A and B are shown apart, each in its own frame.
Chain A
Amino acid sequence: MSDQSQCPVVEARGVGKRVASPEGELELLRDIQFSIMSGEAVAVLGASGSGKTTLLGILAGLDTPSTGTVLIEGVDLFALDEEGRAAVRREAIGFVFQSFHLLPTLTAVENAMLPLELAGRADARAQAEQLLGRVGLERRLRHYPRQLSGGEQQRVAIARAFATRPRLLFADEPTGNLDLATGRRVIDLLFEINREQGTTLVLVTHDDTVAARCTRRLLLDGGRLRDAA
């Protein structure tokens, strides 16, 4: 992996995405070009259906672009195979999703442990417990997701996302399923830990107040990306 001070953490080069639809081919993304440097917090804004989530999926290597490519810390994601991309995610990337995606059969602490376990870390439980303490859930360690409120679930998801100390965090509408007050507390937490760990943050949202807390805002409109004011 190349020197982080030299190259961007995320670099999109001419990313385009077309999908087949009943009304013919649909162009979701068109020639997306940008780079994000280490430590930046970038918001991707846009209306519903503007392709924000599609872009996030491609940036994280969860989806493939029709044209162009994405470099993570200088590594061309789409020159790698599926296994290679999984390794990059394991190595460098954390996720927070709109619908939390906690595993229903795992307790809070086990959910937070999962990425550490996948990375083969022996201190997984201690790490996870410490992080859950950090998000204020030290009394909810043995609770199952169904026993937690939405805000609590998202805090577990944040603990999980930061568990492996990723250099890059993707957050997809992290407050989309939460009420205003809860959403605000969750966002506070996200930014706090982001700062503590020096993580680069890419956040998809349609909430201007959330976007306002980012260092940079990009607007996705008609499949094209431009800097938002």
Chain B
Amino acid sequence: MSARAPVLAARMLLRDWRAGELRVLAAALVVAVAAVTAVGFFSDRVRLALELQATELLGADLVVSADHALDESLLERGGQTLRRAEAVEFPSMVIAGDQAQLASIRAVSREYPLRGHLRISRELFAPDAEADGIPPAGAVWLEARLATQLGIAVGDAIDLGDARFRVDAILTVEPAGGGIGMFNLAPRLLFNAADLASTGLVQPASRVRYRYLFAGEADAVRTFRAQVEPALGRGESLESVGDARPEVRGALDRASRFLGLATLVSVLLSGVAVALSARRFIARHLDYCAVMRCLGASQRLILGVYGLQLCMLGVASALLGCALGYLAQFGLESLLGALLGIGLPAPSMRPARFGAGVALVTLLGFALPPLLHLRNVPALRVIRRELGGPGGARLLTWLTGVAAMAALVWWQAEDRLLSLYILLGAAAVLALLAAVAAGLIALLRQLRHRVGSTWRFGLLSLTQRAGTGVMQVMAFGLGIMVLLLLGVVRGDLLQEWERELPEQAPNRFLIKILPEQVDAVRDFFARSGLQPPELFPMVRGRLAEIDGRAVAAGDYHEDRARRLVEREFNLSWAERPQPDNRIVAGAWWGADGNGAAEMSVEVGLAETLGIRLGDTLAFRIAGAELRARVTNLREVEWDNFRVNFFVLTPPGVLDAFPATWITSLYVPADRYAVLNELVKTFPNVTVIDVSAIMDQVRRIMDRVALAVQYVFLFTLIAGLLVMAAAIHASLDERVRETVLLRTLGASRRQLLRGLATEFVSLGLVAGALGALGAGFIAQVLAHNVFHLSYGWDPGLLLIGALAGGIGVGVAGVLSTRFVLNMPPVQALRGL
């Protein structure tokens, strides 16, 4: 490339900018980048914030736990950068008078917990408040059900080992120690680590778990993790944030899908706007190139100048877009800050990099082929204008552009399935739009002989520019489709989701119901005036073999997999799958399957542990063994708080094993006293309060709804830009024609009607097609990605066609009307 190229490119960029040549292109790029980065920065910060919230469930960013006290040299690798707390955990009997109960005891250091807060109340079932620190020396905090079981109140004394403690408060919320499943939690008792020695309970042979909690900057945590992980020995393990509870994780998954969808759609739309305006830019610069060739510019110089010009434009737009995106997410923060309840951490630079990538990839993807074509514009075009027109590279342009976008989307996508659906859907809809548009334009061509002169003008110009017309229908159709799709997603799909977690979703789990108590528990609720819940049997077993291979935690790399292998599974039996379960592989056993050695495994578990359809699993249950073949994999909606199981068998298979029963139910706030009664009547039954987690899921839903609305704004702008670019695409030709008709004496009224006819027909066709596409994609997304049921809305078609006809008609006429207000020659000179 010539050394002159950068200087020339910069000058030409400024001149083109000043002359207004680049405005739509630059606006499309800036909006693309701003939308993508605003969503990116925002979702990045929300993701970090939600991770932070998830750390509250863990009480730390990272926990190292061991069955022995760990060497200081290992723990000190965190250095000064990480905060640290310790907890020593063991089961022990707690004695109050003549009552004794097994409890999960936890002695904690002053800093505990590092993330989140303990909450306590000064009275049983009284409102709670955030605790200030940990229990003072000589005092304990214990869970309500332990107090109920022991028949004690705040102020009473309990004995723990050799020491006597005063009950200082009721523990209502403790950032749960990871690794302890929800269902094998003995009630918690918390006390000050300073008192640990006095209890005499930690002896060489006792079952003690040492938990070392760490928190700090993400980088420091990562570094520490990388150092500690390889040094861990037997009985030592790591727990981190990635392992949030399944309910929260389910909600977060959907949240990121909604946001991902909005981002993707903005990227695609902006890409189309960039494509359309880049094409027009190149077309308008054909003469420019011919003159430059004529004045002796080499092909390389021309390629260099235009390539650099587009790169500079891309970089400038990317910078501006990133800045706008960054500002926009501050607006979002002020909008959502209070709702989030926690400060949003600073975003990472990842979204900015992606934004810049979007600008350059879309610009070069769509502009490079016509740019390469520019190089070959013959100098002879200065005397023969028909030479070297822009048409040749059209298909190639779209193909490379679409390929570039697809690669970009694929690279960025956190959810490849969603991306695949969107890309395939967009491609299918575009192909459909092109085919139908071509067909309709051919039909209009027939029609124009049977309509009045005004209509004939409009239809004539539409049908004569068939190529541009098809492209415009595609662009308008895509724009309208995306806008409708977002409307549908924002409204119906979000509503559908919220409907899945109704006001009266279960907020209490009852576990450890003995088989002989099942009927009595049902009666208890019937007598209390509460709807008797459905009870499920539950057998606890440890996974021993997968298809003949012995299973050991050491075989797995992932924390979740290791923990799953180490702990006992809850197995259950069922005749039919629950309504919120979906078979994704294999087939459910029939009514005659009773007693058959079959198993149904939750698909997430199967993926984590490497279980495939057809594998034979062996479980060790209470000293005996159960073998069965996996005949189906199930998807489970964990975020609806119904009782669900990782592993199911047909009825009859588990009869020989000891079972307890479990249920979930909704207890209104004013009926919580019933739970006290229940615990007193059935002292062995444990009540677990899931309303806190459920509130968290609800809050996430609300946040997502707001976020999607906000992102919708950007997508709206991108959609409008696509429309503007599509109108501009035929502007030059239309001005020429209108001027010609004007010269031949057409009245202003005739011309306006002609323009209106053309744009309204374009809009009607595009709107109807866009509505069909939106309905179709919404179906696919609802069913395959969000797992929600969503019905066809016939009104969509009408809305699409009307909105398209009116919107495109008004916008089109407004943007070309100027031609009617100036002398023909002046209008032509502006081209």
Among B64-72, B291-299, B674-682, B754-762, the one that faces the other chain is: B291-299
Nearest to B7 among chain A residues (CB) is: A117
Q: Is B299 a contact partner of A63 (Cβ separation < 8 A)?
A: no
Q: Which residues of B contact A145 (CB under 8 A)?
A: 829
Among B15-23, B557-565, B602-610, B696-704, the one that faces the other chain is: B15-23
Q: Which residues of B contact A101 (CB under 8 A)?
A: 287, 290-291, 294, 382
Nearest to A115 among chain B residues (CB) is: B295
- Knowing A117-B8, A117-B11, A118-B8, say if A97 contacts B383 (CB, 8 Å): yes
- Knowing A53-B383, A89-B296, A145-B829, say if A62 contacts B16 (CB, 8 Å): no
Nearest to A110 among chain B residues (CB) is: B15
**Interface residue range, chain B:** 35 or more
**Count of A-B contacts with CB under 8 A?**
89
Contact string against B for A residues 55-74, beta-carbon threshold 8 Å, 1 for contact and 0 otherwise:
01100111100000000000
Q: Is B15 a contact partner of A105 (Cβ separation < 8 A)?
A: yes
User: A41-85: which residues lie under 8 A (CB-CB) from chain B?
Assistant: 53, 56-57, 60-63, 82-83
Contact string against A for B residues 807-831, beta-carbon threshold 8 Å, 1 for contact and 0 otherwise:
0000000000000000000100111
A191 interface residue (CB < 8 Å to B): no
Q: Is A86 a contact partner of B297 (Cβ separation < 8 A)?
A: yes
A93 interface residue (CB < 8 Å to B): yes
Contact string against B for A residues 74-113, beta-carbon threshold 8 Å, 1 for contact and 0 otherwise:
0000000011001111110101010001011111001000
Nearest to B294 among chain A residues (CB) is: A95
Nearest to A173 among chain B residues (CB) is: B383
Q: Is B383 a contact partner of A56 (Cβ separation < 8 A)?
A: yes
**Interface residue range, chain A:** 35 or more
Q: Is A63 a contact partner of B296 (Cβ separation < 8 A)?
A: no
Q: Is B379 a contact partner of A62 (Cβ separation < 8 A)?
A: yes
B294 to chain A, nearest CB (A): 6
Q: Which residues of A contact B18 (CB under 8 A)?
A: 105
Q: A62-B294, A105-B21 are in contact. List 20 more A-B contacts (CB 8 A).
A: A86-B293, A86-B298, A86-B299, A89-B294, A89-B295, A89-B296, A91-B296, A95-B295, A95-B382, A101-B291, A103-B287, A103-B288, A103-B291, A104-B19, A110-B15, A115-B295, A118-B292, A119-B296, A120-B4, A146-B830
What would 6 A/B residue contacts be, using CB atoms closer than 8 Å? Answer: A57-B380, A83-B300, A86-B379, A89-B296, A101-B294, A118-B292
Q: Is B288 a contact partner of A83 (Cβ separation < 8 A)?
A: no
B87 interface residue (CB < 8 Å to A): no
Q: Is B382 a contact partner of A105 (Cβ separation < 8 A)?
A: no
A141 to chain B, nearest CB (A): 14
Q: Which residues of A contact B16 (CB under 8 A)?
A: 105
B301 to chain A, nearest CB (A): 7
A105 to chain B, nearest CB (A): 4
Interface residues of A (CB under 8 A from B): 53, 56-57, 60-63, 82-83, 86-91, 93, 95, 97, 101, 103-107, 110, 114-115, 117-120, 144-146, 172
User: B1-34: which residues lie under 8 A (CB-CB) from chain A?
Assistant: 2-4, 7-8, 11, 15-16, 18-19, 21
CA distance A95 to B297 in the complex (A): 14
Q: Which secondary structure characterizes the binding site on chain B? A: helix
B378 interface residue (CB < 8 Å to A): yes
CA distance A89 to B294 in the complex (A): 7
Q: Is B19 a contact partner of A63 (Cβ separation < 8 A)?
A: no
CA distance A106 to B291 in the complex (A): 13
A69 to chain B, nearest CB (A): 17
Residue from A53, A62, A106, A120 within 8 A of B15 (CB atoms): A106
Q: Which residues of A contact B384 (CB under 8 A)?
A: 57
Q: Is B296 a contact partner of A88 (Cβ separation < 8 A)?
A: yes
Contact string against A for B residues 211-228, beta-carbon threshold 8 Å, 1 for contact and 0 otherwise:
000000000000000000
- Knowing A57-B380, A105-B21, A144-B19, say if A90 contacts B295 (CB, 8 Å): yes
Q: Is B4 a contact partner of A62 (Cβ separation < 8 A)?
A: no
Q: Which residues of A contact B383 (CB under 8 A)?
A: 53, 56-57, 62, 97, 172
Q: Which residues of B contact A107 (CB under 8 A)?
A: 15
CA distance A117 to B293 in the complex (A): 13
CA distance A87 to B3 in the complex (A): 16
Q: Is A115 a contact partner of B296 (Cβ separation < 8 A)?
A: yes
Q: Is A87 a contact partner of B15 (Cβ separation < 8 A)?
A: no
Nearest to A98 among chain B residues (CB) is: B383
B374 to chain A, nearest CB (A): 14
CA distance A106 to B298 in the complex (A): 20
Contact string against A for B residues 725-736, beta-carbon threshold 8 Å, 1 for contact and 0 otherwise:
000000000000
- What 6 A-B pairs have minimum CB-CB distances, sorted nearest first? A90-B296, A105-B19, A89-B296, A146-B829, A62-B379, A115-B295
Contact string against A for B residues 286-314, beta-carbon threshold 8 Å, 1 for contact and 0 otherwise:
01101111111111110000000000000
- Knowing A86-B298, A146-B830, say if A63 contacts B291 (CB, 8 Å): no
Residue from A89, A106, A118 within 8 A of B4 (CB atoms): A118
User: B259-303: which residues lie under 8 A (CB-CB) from chain A?
Assistant: 287-288, 290-301
CA distance A53 to B387 in the complex (A): 15
Q: Is B288 a contact partner of A62 (Cβ separation < 8 A)?
A: no
Q: Is A83 a contact partner of B295 (Cβ separation < 8 A)?
A: no
Q: Is B299 a contact partner of A83 (Cβ separation < 8 A)?
A: yes
CA distance A82 to B287 in the complex (A): 18
Q: Which residues of A contact B831 (CB under 8 A)?
A: 104
CA distance A118 to B5 in the complex (A): 9
CA distance A107 to B11 in the complex (A): 12
- Knowing A95-B382, A103-B287, say if A114 contacts B292 (CB, 8 Å): yes
B536 to chain A, nearest CB (A): 74
Q: Is B296 a contact partner of A118 (Cβ separation < 8 A)?
A: yes
A93 to chain B, nearest CB (A): 7
Q: Which residues of B contact A56 (CB under 8 A)?
A: 383
Contact string against A for B residues 377-419, beta-carbon threshold 8 Å, 1 for contact and 0 otherwise:
0111011100000000000000000000000000000000000
Q: Is A104 a contact partner of B830 (Cβ separation < 8 A)?
A: yes
Q: Which residues of A contact B290 (CB under 8 A)?
A: 101
Most A-side CB within 10 Å, residue of B2, B294, B296, B301: B296
B291 to chain A, nearest CB (A): 5
CA distance A106 to B292 in the complex (A): 13
B465 to chain A, nearest CB (A): 22
- Knowing A103-B288, A104-B830, say if A90 contacts B380 (CB, 8 Å): no
User: B40-62: which residues lie under 8 A (CB-CB) from chain A?
Assistant: none
A70 to chain B, nearest CB (A): 14
A131 to chain B, nearest CB (A): 15
